[in-house]
Each structure stands twice: as structure tokens, then as C-alpha cells.
A and B are shown apart, each in its own frame.
Chain A
Amino acid sequence: MKTIALIPAYNEESRIAASVRDARSFVDGVVVVDDCSVDRTGEVARAAGAIVLRHVINRGQGAALQTATEYALDALNADALVHFDADGQMVAREIPMMLEPILSGEADVVLGSRFLGRATNMPFTRRMANRLARLFTLAISGIALTDTHNGFRALSRKAARELTVTLDRMAHASQILDLVKVRRLRYVERPVTITYSEETLAKSPSSFRAFGIVKDILKDKFFTRI
């Protein structure tokens, strides 16, 4: 079984090397998509041992993940994929635990959950925003999860082929859940640790950006499929 970690990255030169090195110890290869960073993210990632694909125009995290997925499946012939992050919020030691249900054939999709595990110092507003997101996802996709916007995932080759992400920005997380349901893929949740630091909080989506996500999902549901 060939396992590949996918890391979408945008302006992460200070943190990407650690992410790549950590992930490499637990998978057969790491693909970083440098989403048109203005810093040295790409070079740093390559030096740390990743295969780097560069977007010549910034297309968003969803688009970057899809690019990495297609490359891992077509060029690297991956059997299982792990979605990992560039900014050190996720713990690489948890990768084998995430991959286990795929490797054993128990599930096609493994979704990380901050609430089954122990999220390290999660701010109150995030907790509330997440609760709303859970309700929203249940209403829109009919899928009941404890954590709907967790970027830590593992996918079998089959699942990765079926989960084609077309929402380029942050709403891809909801789209993935939607497709899991639509394509009737077998999924399980696993507890993961997410560490929030001042630095990553400043960069990652605020609760306000959630409105943008909701907008993208509704737009996709009601307009683009016509």
C-alpha cells in the first residue's frame, strides 16, 4: 500500500518544513501544493523532502487539495491519501491511526474529529461556530458528524477518485462530506489533536469567514448544478 500525504500551502515558509518532515516519517511520500505563495514555501517544502506542485495563480485550499489528489493518484499511483496541514496544527504521529481503517478495509474515508479527541485550548467562539456548522451540514448533506470542518482526513484510492472537489475555496470541506454521502462511501471518525496557537489563529478562517463558506455551498447547491 502506497500512502501519500497531501499538504496545501499558502505562505507557510516558516512552518512548512516541520510539517513535511513530520509527515514523511509516517507515509511513503508527501505532495505539497504551493498555492502561489509570495514567500519561499515551495523551495522550503522541496528541501524538506516533498514533491512540490505550484499553482501559478492562487486558487484556494480546495483547489490545491484537488491538484494534489490528482497528482498522487495519476503520477504516484497512491493507494491511500492523507490530507494534512502546513501550519503545524495537526499531529503527524496521528497519521497511522487515521490510515488504519483504510488499510484494514474498514472504511473508504476517515475523518478527523476535534471533539472525539481533546482539542487543545479551542477558543469559545470557534466551539460555537462549529456547533452551527454541524447543524448546517446535517441539514444540507444529511450527514451527522461531531466535527464538520476538520482538515485531517484519510481516503482510499477509490474514495479519492470519487470525491472530486470543485469548490476551490474553504467550502471544499463541506463538499467532501456531501460527496461522501452522495456516493455512499463508508466513513468513520477518529479523534485527533488540533493545536491552536496565536500564529495559526491569526491566519486560519475566523468565524466570520464561515459566512463565505455558507455562501459558496448554497451557490453550488442552487446555481451551478442547473
Chain B
Amino acid sequence: MTFQVILVLFALFAITRTSRQYRKRKVSLYWFLLWTGLWALVIGIALYPTTADAIARFVGVERGADLALYLAVVLLAYLVFRLFVRQEETERSITQVVRQIAVQHPSKPDETH
């Protein structure tokens, strides 16, 4: 029971934070809907754990909690992958900028005084 309450409170907290971020235009509508949907799902499952079991059995997993865990792992793996690609792009952009600065300011031997 305690765990359910904590989970619901945390989900509500996450949703209010996201909606505030969205109103300040710090996150996109897509991200807002995705995030809100995800936490709404968490609330639903926390309040009615048996629905999760039903869904789990429908897709061929024994327990709802197991299904949630599997999905969480897949989601995290995907997010890590995205970060990975994004970080690589950032690294390349930094190199581009550093290169531009370097070629624009060559110091030539005859400039020595």
C-alpha cells in the first residue's frame, strides 16, 4: 500500500514538473505528451495492479510487475542509445568549431618578431 502511494505521488510530481516545463516552452509538445502518458500509465497500474497482470498475461508474461520491468529495461536501453548518438554528434560539432577557429588563425613563421 505504502509503495503504491509513493509511486502515485511521484508520478503526479513528475507530471506537474513536465507541464510547468511545457508551459515555459522548455520541452516540446511531443515530449510533454509522451512523458505525461508514461506517468499516467504508472498511476493507472499503481491503483489497479490487476490490470497490469491482465495485460501481462495477454502479451504472454506471467506477472504485471515483470512486464513493467522488461519494458523499463527496453526503454532505458533505447534512451541510452539516443544519448549515445546525440553525444557523438555534439563531439563532432565541437571538433568542427575548434577546426574553424584553428584554420582562421594560422600563425606563420614570418610573423615572429
User: Taking beta carbons and an 8 Å cutoff, which residues of A are in contact with B?
Assistant: 33, 42, 46-47, 49-57, 59, 63, 66-67, 70-71, 74-75, 166, 168, 219, 223-224, 226
A-B contact pairs, 18 of them (CB 8 A): A42-B107, A46-B112, A47-B109, A51-B106, A51-B107, A51-B108, A52-B106, A53-B102, A54-B107, A56-B101, A63-B99, A66-B99, A67-B98, A71-B103, A166-B92, A168-B92, A223-B85, A223-B88
B38 interface residue per 8 A CB criterion: no
Partner of A54 from the list B84, B91, B95, B105 (CB cut-off 8 Å) is B105
* Complex CA distance for A47 and B103, rounded to whole angstroms: 19
* Complex CA distance for A213 and B26, rounded to whole angstroms: 38
Given the known A-B contacts A219-B88, A223-B84, are A63 and B95 also in contact in the complex, defined by CB atoms under 8 Å?
A: yes
B9 to chain A, nearest CB (A): 38
CB pair A50–B109 under 8 Å, yes or no, is: yes
B94 interface residue per 8 A CB criterion: yes
Bin the interface of chain B by size.
20 to 34
The 7 A-B pairs at the shortest CB distance, nearest first, are namely A53-B102, A67-B99, A52-B107, A71-B103, A63-B95, A49-B109, A55-B98
User: Which B73-113 residues sit within 8 Å CB-CB of chain A?
Assistant: 81, 84-85, 88, 91-92, 94-95, 98-99, 101-103, 105-109, 111-112
Contacts of A52 in B (CB 8 A): 106-107
A5 to chain B, nearest CB (A): 14
CB pair A51–B109 under 8 Å, yes or no, is: yes
User: Which B3-54 residues sit within 8 Å CB-CB of chain A?
Assistant: none
Given the known A-B contacts A51-B106, A52-B107, are A57 and B98 also in contact in the complex, defined by CB atoms under 8 Å?
A: yes
With A59-B98, A71-B102 given, name 5 new contacts (CB 8 A).
A47-B109, A53-B105, A53-B107, A57-B94, A223-B85
Interface of A, helix, strand, loop or mixed by DSSP: mixed
User: Taking beta carbons and an 8 Å cutoff, which residues of B are in contact with A?
Assistant: 81, 84-85, 88, 91-92, 94-95, 98-99, 101-103, 105-109, 111-112
CB pair B88–A59 under 8 Å, yes or no, is: no
Given the known A-B contacts A47-B112, A49-B109, are A224 and B85 also in contact in the complex, defined by CB atoms under 8 Å?
A: yes
B61 to chain A, nearest CB (A): 29
Please name the residue on chain B nearest to A62 by beta carbon: B95
Please name the residue on chain B nearest to A74 by beta carbon: B103
CB pair A54–B102 under 8 Å, yes or no, is: yes
* Complex CA distance for A46 and B105, rounded to whole angstroms: 13
Contacts of B102 in A (CB 8 A): 33, 53-56, 67, 71
Please name the residue on chain B nearest to A219 by beta carbon: B88
B102 to chain A, nearest CB (A): 4
B51 to chain A, nearest CB (A): 36
* Complex CA distance for A71 and B107, rounded to whole angstroms: 12
* Complex CA distance for A70 and B99, rounded to whole angstroms: 9
